[in-house]
Amino acid sequence: MSILGLERVVYGVEDLALGRRFFEEWGLIAEGDVFRAADGTEVVLRPADDPSLPPAIEPGSTVREIVWGVERPADLDALAQRLDGTTRVSRSEEGSLRFADPTGMGVALAVTRRRKL
């Protein structure tokens, strides 16, 4: 079982146009409000008041969820068992695990879609 690395970072932003400009200037490939690095790692922008986002841990535009990629669905199941009883975990429709870390930051684990360069 292994966590391979960063899969996606989801931001809640107060000004979507400014957020888009920021990540475009970083050279990420834009598809609407999703920006991708060459390996497929994503940065996702959503309105700060989007009710589907985890709660913010600080005011203003900020990271709302960090998604870590795992190798296989079996890895998700093993990690769910390890987390069971220690934190509240939910499964999303696509199968990823979602929970909050001790600081309240939204965290998820998902089967990776990144590709090797």
In a domain, residue 71? The reply is yes
Residue burial 31-69, b: 16+ Cβ < 10 Å; e: rest: eebebbeeebbbbbbbebeeeebbebeeeebebbbbbbb
In a domain, residue 88? The reply is yes
Which CATH number is 92's domain given? 3.10.180.10
Judge whether residue 41 has pLDDT over 70.
Answer: yes
Q: What is the pLDDT of residue 1?
A: 58
Q: How many domains is the chain built from? A: 1
Let me know: does 46 contact 11? Beta carbons within 8 Å.
yes
Q: What is the pLDDT of residue 26?
A: 86
Average pLDDT, the chain: 92
What is d(CA 66, CA 55) in angstroms, rounded to the nearest whole number?
A: 13
In a domain, residue 80? The reply is yes
Look at 24-28, 60-64, 67-71 and tell me which has the smallest mean pLDDT: 24-28
In a domain, residue 117? The reply is no
Domain containing 82: what range?
Answer: 3-111
Judge whether residue 49 has pLDDT over 70.
Answer: yes
